[in-house]
Structure 1
Amino acid sequence: MTESVAVDLDRHVYGLVEAPITLVEYGDFECPYCGAAAPVLRRLIDDSDGMVRLVYRHFPLFTVHPFALTAALAAEAAGEQFWPMHDLLFAHQSRLADPDLENYAQMLGLDSVTGEAVQDCRPAVEADYRSGVTMGVRGTPTLFADGRLYQGKVELGALRSALGMHR
Structure 2
Amino acid sequence: MSVSSLVRKANKNIEASSAQLLNIVAALDFTTTFVDYLGQLRELGSKKEKDAIWMLFKENMQKLKSSFGWDPKSKMEELFNPMSRFLLIESDDQLIAFSMFRFESEEGEDVLYCYDLQIQRLQQRNGLGSFLIQALVAIATAWRMEKVVLTVFKANHSAIKFYEASGYDVRM
Larger relative helix fraction: 1
By relative contact order (CA 8 Å, sep 6+), the higher-ranking structure is: 1
Would you say same fold, with TM above 0.5?
A: no
Larger relative strand fraction: 2
Q: TM-score, normalised by structure 1?
A: 0.25
